[in-house]
Amino acid sequence: MIETSLKKSHGQGRQCVITRRAGFSASHLYRLPELSEDENFSLFGLCAKTPGHGHNYELIVSLSGALNSDGMVLNLSDVKSAIRTEVTDQLDFAFLNEAWPEFDLSQPTGCLPTTEALVQVIWRRLAPYLPIVDLCLYEHPRLWANYSGDAMETSISIRTHFSAAHRLARAELTQHENETTYGKCARPNGHGHNYLLDVTVKGSVDPRTGMICDLATLQGLVEDLVVERFDHTFLNKDIAHFETCVPTAENIALHIADILTEPIMNIGVQLQKIRLQESPNNAAEVYVESPRKDFMLESLNHSASFSMKN
């Protein structure tokens, strides 16, 4: 009965999230008029160099709602039209600092058009027209920002990589038992991966610099504390933690989260997620759930999930 009525109504009333992708190319310049030349360069690096530089941005808009009688959350042509009218027509081939008044730095309320500031402003401009639940804005494939409408929780993600060998085997098991559990990954001499590492941090966007943290410092932490230590190693032998802990993708991701949680907190943001992709077919994600400093050391509360993609 229920199935028949759903078919007749084409799913009307059932909830669904849909996504729509859009792209635009734009330039920007990180330079605050109240700062000296040296201060601008020390804060923003090469991004302060005139006349600016550009990116091919990619915007992923996630929309949620109940299906209408046509079996859609929204008519896609209305979605495309709203994104085009409110965002891409205005930003494509534009100089972001001058495209929207939110980025007018001659005004005290003006904010630098960073990716994390831009994703918030796009949200405010699209929200009156579309039932957005998440926006993801890629500045390039190794840097993106997410925003879900909570001013305190904008996130940025950086992607880096390292190459390492490992062997999945537990010392207390026989070789046969290890191969039963871990398959080819238990072969005696190990094997290697080019790991892709995504580090996501969350915080609130500074109303003037448009940043949730100093990006170069964040990149430096990940590089120094993880990539430099793990790259071109045999994890089981070269990283003390893995002498007694089997270096599955899950455990490597958890260990990276443990290493990075406190240093990232010390630069004023919270580590939100570690995603470690071992191969095109498998990845592990770790969500850091208790980032408050006062109880952090005793009860780091990490959970891991493992995703297999075909």
Choose, from 16, 232, 243, 289, the residue flagged as catalytic.
Answer: 232
Query: Site residues (CB under 5 A) for Zn ion?
Result: 185
CB of 177 to Zn ion, least distance (A): 18
Euclidean distance between CA atoms 178 and 187, whole angstroms: 9
Choose, from 98, 185, 223, 302, the residue flagged as catalytic.
Answer: 185
Residue nearest to Zn ion (CB): 185
For residue 172, count other CB atoms closer than 10 A to its CB: 7
Among residues 24 and 265, whose Cβ is nearest to Zn ion? Answer: 24
CB of 66 to Zn ion, least distance (A): 39
Q: Is 245 a catalytic residue?
A: no
Q: How many CA atoms lie within 13 A of 294 on its CB side?
A: 0
Euclidean distance between CA atoms 120 and 206, whole angstroms: 12
Q: Is 278 a catalytic residue?
A: yes
Among residues 73 and 284, whose Cβ is nearest to Zn ion? Answer: 284
Burial 138-168 (b: 16+ CB within 10 A, else e): bbeeebbbbbeeeeeebbbbbbbebebbbbb
Among residues 185 and 227, whose Cβ is nearest to Zn ion? Answer: 185
For residue 38, which amino acid is it?
D
Q: Is 185 a catalytic residue?
A: yes
For the chain, the distance separating the N- and C-terminal CA atoms, rounded to the nearest angstrom, is 35
Place of tokens 């500031």: 117
Among residues 74 and 145, whose Cβ is nearest to Zn ion? Answer: 145
CB of 96 to Zn ion, least distance (A): 9
CB of 228 to Zn ion, least distance (A): 21
Residues annotated as part of the active site: 185, 232, 278
